Amino acid sequence: MKTFIFLLFLGLSSAQTTTEPCEITGVCDINLDTLVEVSFYDVEDDYGCPLECEDLEICHFYSVFVDPYDENLNKCLLFESCNIIEECDECTTCK
């Protein structure tokens, strides 16, 4: 029984892919053909944007950066595709 519980816990913890760090510096090209949704999250919230993308079947990429009008918020952009990365040192994009 202990082995089953351990394996169940191991399976659940390995299913959490949203905590992986973003590897792409920059932001996806913002256009109406690829942009799915725009949201805002507290700057301390590292999970809101990836979880929102994970919940939408059409979302395959997301870009995150501090909102220039409110430094306490992260702007979260969800994309269906991301063929062009625009330069932005303060932005990160993830799959």
- Is pLDDT at 53 greater than 80 in this prediction? yes
Distance CA(41)–CA(10), nearest Å, equals: 29
Distance CA(80)–CA(72), nearest Å, equals: 27
Low-confidence winner among 5-9, 49-53, 55-59, 84-88 (lowest mean pLDDT): 5-9
Structural class in CATH, domain 20-94: alpha beta
For the chain, domain boundaries: 20-94
Distance CA(91)–CA(89), nearest Å, equals: 6
Model confidence at 20, pLDDT cuts 50, 70, 90, reads: low
Higher pLDDT, 23 or 65: 65
For 47, the token pair is: 């999970």
Model confidence at 13, pLDDT cuts 50, 70, 90, reads: very low
C-beta of residue 64 within 8 angstroms of C-beta of residue 46: no
**Does the global pTM surpass 0.95?**
no
C-beta of residue 23 within 8 angstroms of C-beta of residue 94: yes
